[in-house]
Amino acid sequence: MISNQTQLNILENLWINGYSTVPELSRNLKIDRSNISRNASYLYKKNYIIKTDKKENNNLIGRKADIIRFNYGYKYTLGIYITESFILSCLMDLGLNIISENIKFINLRNEDTKKIIQEILISTNKYTQYFKDLMSVSVAFPEATDSDTGTLIGNGLFQFENFPLKEKLEKETGLYFHIENDANAGAMYYLLDSKLKYKNLVFMLMGFFFHEDMIKGYQGNGIIINKKIYKGSNNLSGEQSITTNLISNNQKIRYENFTDYLKSIKNPEIIFDDYLEKISTIISTTANILDPDVFVLGGYVHMLPNNIINLIKNKTYEKIINYPNRKFKIIIDDTKLKSIVIGASGSFMNKLMKSFDFAKNFL
């Protein structure tokens, strides 16, 4: 178990940056070298950090310094993303590098909380061989969530309220579960991927809901302000109830064949005309209000044809106030939803690195 805040500060720096040296840690953390060395020795013994064979030139002390790395292989973390159409799981090391992954196509009904639990448990149990070294299971869900209590606030795509998902899952498995909103998970992925370079960012999860009679577009936003997820006073920040009817679903199209269907359409921009206008207005309005460094279009965006994506970007830029003078760009998420799975586990790890009392339960 870690014994003081300095040890956690060392771990956080190494976890984010991958590696460092004692002199560099001393400068970055503003802690004297002897204190860093003493606490690093303790972390070596616990196998939380490791030395590499390489050394780094250090002009300040006139000799080469040992390169220290976070031991990402110390434990594992499991990320899961469940929606009404699929459940995607990724086993990762603590550096959020994917070791194994699995996807299953499902059909959840709005109120079926038992089915939600069942599907999460099935996905979790695919990794039973790793349970003894599994630090956490992080679940991203397309609803407003209270991550502190693991409660699904609901009343969005799914018609339930204040469902204690974390409590139910932990009772069934004995594992630690972290619950996160899917858009917030996406935002956390891009914050960590930038190594905290971005100060303010928005991750818009662009989704499609496959009703029996109509395919609808919806969206939600994960918001980072001052390098922290902003959840608002009621854990409802970023929620947008605006939906757009896209395509009549008389062909019974599902998530798994939507991309192929779009490829078969000669002029998809005609079908998406209303959607393009609405989504570009939503993006630009959100960007104008929050003024982020970057705006990430994620979620199901990989399913859209390139010309539709380009039209969304161009229409959005036209509606950004004083766009030529802003340091602002739109990024298209190309991870095919893995950013949300990785970001869910990243949200847990970030929470662990920010709280000594919480970290003591795991390190």
Residue 12: CB atoms within 10 A of its CB come to 18
Please calculate the CA angle 130-169-221 and round it to the nearest 5 degrees: 95
Domain covering 195-335 assigned CATH 3.30.420.40 in the classification: yes
Cα separations (Å) of 114 from 79, 118, 161, 165, 175?
Answer: 20, 6, 14, 10, 18
Claim: this prediction has a pTM higher than 0.85: yes
pLDDT per position in the chain (363 positions), as tens?
Answer: 899 999 999 999 999 999 999 999 999 999 999 999 999 999 999 999 998 866 666 555 446 778 999 999 999 999 999 998 999 999 999 999 999 999 999 988 766 888 999 999 999 999 999 999 999 999 999 988 999 999 998 766 677 788 999 999 999 999 999 999 999 999 999 999 999 999 999 999 999 888 778 888 888 999 999 999 998 877 767 776 667 888 887 778 888 888 988 888 888 888 889 899 999 999 999 999 999 999 999 999 999 999 999 999 999 999 999 988 888 899 999 999 999 999 999 999 999 999 999 999 999
Q: Given this chain, do its domains 5-73 and 75-185+339-359 carry the same CATH topology?
A: no
Fold adopted by 5-73: Arc Repressor Mutant, subunit A (1.10.10)
d(CA 354, CA 12): 8
Task: Give one DSSP letter per residue of 269-288, joined into a string.
Answer: HHHTHHHHHHHHHHHHHHHH
What confidence score (pLDDT) does residue 24 get?
Answer: 93
Instruction: Spell out the domain ranges in the chain.
Output: 5-73, 75-185+339-359, 195-335
DSSP element (H, E) containing 216 = strand 214-225
Local structure of residue 151 (DSSP, 8 states)? E
What confidence score (pLDDT) does residue 147 get?
Answer: 93
- Spelled out in words, what is the top-level CATH class assigned to the domain 75-185+339-359? alpha beta
What confidence score (pLDDT) does residue 232 get?
Answer: 80
What confidence score (pLDDT) does residue 238 get?
Answer: 72
Rounded to the nearest 5°, which phi and psi values hold at 196? Answer: 65, 20
**Residues ≥6 apart with Cβ < 8 Å to 170:** 176, 177
